[in-house]
Structure 1
Amino acid sequence: MTETIRLDRDGRGVVTLWLARSEKHNALDAQMISEITQVIRHLGQEQKVRAVVLAAEGKSFCAGGDLRWMQANMTASSEERGASARALAEMLAAVDACPKPVIGRVQGNAFGGGVGMISVCDVAIAVPAARFGLTETKLGLTPATISPYVVARMGAAKARRVFMSSRLFDAAEAVALDLIARVVPPEALDAAIEAEVAPYLACAPGAVAEAKALLRLLSSHPDSGLQEATIAALVKRWESDEARDGISAFFERTPPPWAL
């Protein structure tokens, strides 16, 4: 039984995994990270599952990492910080490596780790009103564990446009950056998702899984060394004065020391 996500299944083997912390803008905390990891791994092994739709309840797709969760990690022991960063990295890796096609249904804003969640989908469709941003540096953090997937999705040259500045960008620019495949009106979103799902139902499931594995082999995806480096980078930021000041400023609704 899960509390932060829920599943809808249809008779064709299509499963919709809903992020269900709408009151927190579907921000990722320890429980949600754990539940997504366990469920996506299970779905990947279910023979009857043909495709997974990653969707979200409420107005936001995913606001990124829950700041209370990050704040707690900054005061935790080094072992606890490392375990939390590793859990986040392993969740992203689990979605990225899922042998089923994963289609992102982006009905609202995605920031920070939410952009990372989109980047580990095989394809993502968004609505025009959605806004996006790698907002970590504004808080004294870095997009560490999501970085291999974001760069793999956008390419380094395009990622440089948004990776370090915390600048928000609209859905049209998300398409230009290759984060989003296309943008459709809200009333057409479900039909667009169905158009992505339907072709897979005519394909051999084992061949789809092996084709996806081959694609990952031939393209850029994090190996164990790179994953360890991103975990260390996230822990280092959690331990920094900038992260403490940035997150404190967020909760106190005051400008951080570096803001001009």
Structure 2
Amino acid sequence: MTAPYVKTHIENGIETIEFFHPAHNSLPGDILAELADAIAAAGENEAVKVIILKSGGDRTFCAGASFKELIAIDDAQTGQVFFSGFANVINAMRKCPKFILGRVQGKTVGGGVGLASATDYCMATKFAAIKLSELNVGIGPFVVGPAVERKLGLSGMSQIAIDANTFYPAEWARQKGLFTQVYDSTEELDEAVNGFAKQLCGYNPEAMREMKQMFWQGTEHWDELLAQRAAISGRLVLSEFTKETLKRFK
């Protein structure tokens, strides 16, 4: 099986950041840390005008956090560190002064929905159904909630958070504002993402930087907020209810 990775490629002002894990792109802490660092570095690189965030493989965009690491948590501090993984990536995306384009080729779950929501412009295939499954294991989408709510609104976010066992179609996500466009194939998606990235490279970088700051206004407290949310999840994962639920998933 292919080893997990985060890799970057810069060409003509476009930096592509790609992550991968053989377990349906479910991401352990070390890969999440690499991803956050790559996004931060791209934001500081003057040669980069726009960023494309994508995952490897043909099917799942991201299945959320590593389940193997989740079931190994045995204290609150470890739990908070675990749930801070996606928080750090979302905050890196929020602070990055460059537009981040999301390329979602397939299903996305939990933290993966948070990543898609934290992009500035997200395109997907018709296979990119979304699900917030956290309540299924006795937790909740506390860390990704602010990013998802920012895109779907409170009504849309609460709907999929409460209905934690249902995949919502890509077209539903488009209608709610998460995806800008939905394509019939990955080939069409890639053509659209790459074409749009090239188009953005022709715009004034300073104007795009100011626009990004404007779009994210009101989220300046997210470093503290997402840390608090990670602590909530870290506490809940130690509850008897969640422990018993996780045993059934082993």
Contact 1:14 1:51 in 2 (8 A): yes
Q: Structure 1 residues 3, 63: CA separation in 2 closer, same or farther (over 3 Å shift)? A: closer
1:117 Cα shift? Answer: 0.6
CA–CA separation in structure 2 for the residues paired with 1:155 and 1:235:
25
CA–CA separation in structure 2 for the residues paired with 1:110 and 1:96:
20
Contact 1:148 1:221 in 2 (8 A): no
CA–CA separation in structure 2 for the residues paired with 1:211 and 1:51:
13
Structure 2 match to 1:68: 68
The alignment partner of 1:52 has SS state of strand
1:121 Cα shift? Answer: 0.4
Tell me the TM-score normalized by structure 1: 0.88
The alignment partner of 2:160 has SS state of coil
The alignment partner of 1:169 has SS state of coil
1:220 Cα shift? Answer: 5.0
1:115 Cα shift? Answer: 0.4
CA RMSD, Structure 1 to Structure 2 (Å)? 1.8
Q: Structure 1 residues 229, 151: CA separation in 2 closer, same or farther (over 3 Å shift)? A: same
CA–CA separation in structure 1 for the residues paired with 2:177 and 2:110:
16
Tell me the TM-score normalized by structure 2: 0.91
Contact 2:86 2:111 in 1 (8 A): no
Of residues 124, 138, 141 in structure 1, which corresponds to 2:139? Answer: 141
Contact 1:105 1:124 in 2 (8 A): yes
1:12-45 deviation line (CA, Å, top 9, x unaligned): 1111111121x21111111111100111111110
Bigger CA drift: 220-229 or 88-97?
220-229
CA–CA separation in structure 1 for the residues paired with 2:37 and 2:115:
15
List runs of 5+ in structure 2 lacking aligned partners: none
CA–CA separation in structure 2 for the residues paired with 1:220 and 1:195:
30
1:141-175 deviation line (CA, Å, top 9, x unaligned): 21111011000111112222212211211111111
CA–CA separation in structure 1 for the residues paired with 2:243 and 2:196:
42
Q: Structure 1 residues 19, 225: CA separation in 2 closer, same or farther (over 3 Å shift)? A: closer
Structure 1 match to 2:52: 53
CA–CA separation in structure 2 for the residues paired with 1:120 and 1:180:
11
Structure 2 match to 1:195: 195
CA–CA separation in structure 1 for the residues paired with 2:190 and 2:80:
38
The alignment partner of 1:231 has SS state of helix
CA–CA separation in structure 2 for the residues paired with 1:169 and 1:221:
30
Structure 2 match to 1:256: none
Give the letter for the 2:102 counterpart. G
Q: What is the aligned residue count?
A: 245
1:134 Cα shift? Answer: 0.4
The percentage of counterpart residues that share the same residue type is 24
1:161-207 deviation line (CA, Å, top 9, x unaligned): 21221121111111122111110121211111023313321122122
Structure 2 match to 1:40: 39
Tell me if 1:239 matches 2:234. Answer: no
Q: Structure 1 residues 221, 61: CA separation in 2 closer, same or farther (over 3 Å shift)? A: farther
Q: Structure 1 residues 90, 192: CA separation in 2 closer, same or farther (over 3 Å shift)? A: same
The alignment partner of 1:27 has SS state of coil
CA–CA separation in structure 1 for the residues paired with 2:18 and 2:31:
11
CA–CA separation in structure 1 for the residues paired with 2:170 and 2:34:
28
Of residues 127, 132, 154 in structure 2, which corresponds to 1:129? Answer: 127
Tell me if 1:150 matches 2:151. Answer: no
- 1:65-214 equivalences under 5 Å are 65-73=65-73, 75=74, 77-166=75-164, 167-186=166-185, 187-214=187-214
